[in-house]
Amino acid sequence: MTDDGTTHVQAHADRLRALEHDHIARRTAATDDGFDGIREFSRAWEENRSTAYLFQKSWSDPVSRNFAIIVILIIVAIWTYLIAF
């Protein structure tokens, strides 16, 4: 004969396994639809970190990173020229 406490724990374990299985199935289905980038930006927008997201993504691209460095150097050079003269 089984204990009521053991049955209760087993029921919760079964429920946890079912929830994990559902989560894995949803995550797999979400990655197959091709909208991962849009979903990631939407999540960043909801968390109010869209600017940080855009800077992070543009900094990871070598062309965008070089362009940003060149623009910053030009701005610094112009300010240095204006302050010096």
CA-CA distance, 3 to 6, in Å (whole number)? 5
Q: How many domains does the chain have?
A: 1
Range of the domain at 31: 3-84
Q: pLDDT tens digits for 10-67? A: 777 788 888 888 877 777 665 566 677 777 777 777 777 777 777 888 888 899 899 9
SS (H, E, C) the chain: CCCHHHHHHHHHHHHHHHHHHHHHHHHHHHHCCCCHHHHHHHHHHHCCCHHHHHHHHHHHCHHHHHHHHHHHHHHHHHHHHHHHC
Q: What is the pTM of this model?
A: 0.42
